[in-house]
Amino acid sequence: MSIILPRNHLIEIFDRVVREITPQTAGIQLHPGENEPANELYTVYIAFSRDLRTSISLCAELSFFIRLTQCMIMEENVTPQDVEAVAKEYHNVLCGHIVAQLFPTTKISARFSIPAFYQGRYQPEGFSDYITLTYFSDKNEHVQLIHHIPV
């Protein structure tokens, strides 16, 4: 992905998708920020197949994932299993929209792995961070979308 499109074009696509899809799916507004997520962190991760050989993770404070879950399933009381399932589905939707945005230019019909959910900040082995977009929510929860490329 990083080789097929200029970095600034990828940043534009990633940012547009995150800032459009998050309010649509959960009613949460994300704004560009500088503070990295802190406190109790979780990461949801997807690897792209063959032609793209890249991956995208979303690292956020637990409070963001809990609120995302509450908003998406419209329940106040959520379990850790609910949070994991919703985080995976949300990231699946984000990555699906990213792939759809990339297709007109790349003509690559990318496939991606089943999302994985990790406690803490996850760094895939053999990959380095290429693009990191940092956001804060309307409730001051911090989130990062990270695009990883092979070392």
Q: What are phi and psi of 145, to 5 degrees?
A: -100, 125
**Dihedrals phi, psi of 48, to nearest 5 degrees:** -90, 150
- Segment 20-40, tens digit of pLDDT: 999 999 999 999 999 999 989
Structure-token pair, residue 85: 């399932």
**pLDDT tens digit string along 122-131?**
999 999 999 9
Q: How would you class 6 by CB atoms within 10 Å of its CB: exposed for 0-12, middle for 13-18, buried for 19 or more? A: exposed
* pTM of the predicted model as reported, rounded to 2 decimal places: 0.92
3-state helix, strand, coil split of the chain in percent (to 5) is: 40, 30, 30
* Cα–Cα dist 51/53, whole Å: 6
The amino acid present at 10, given as its one-letter code, is L
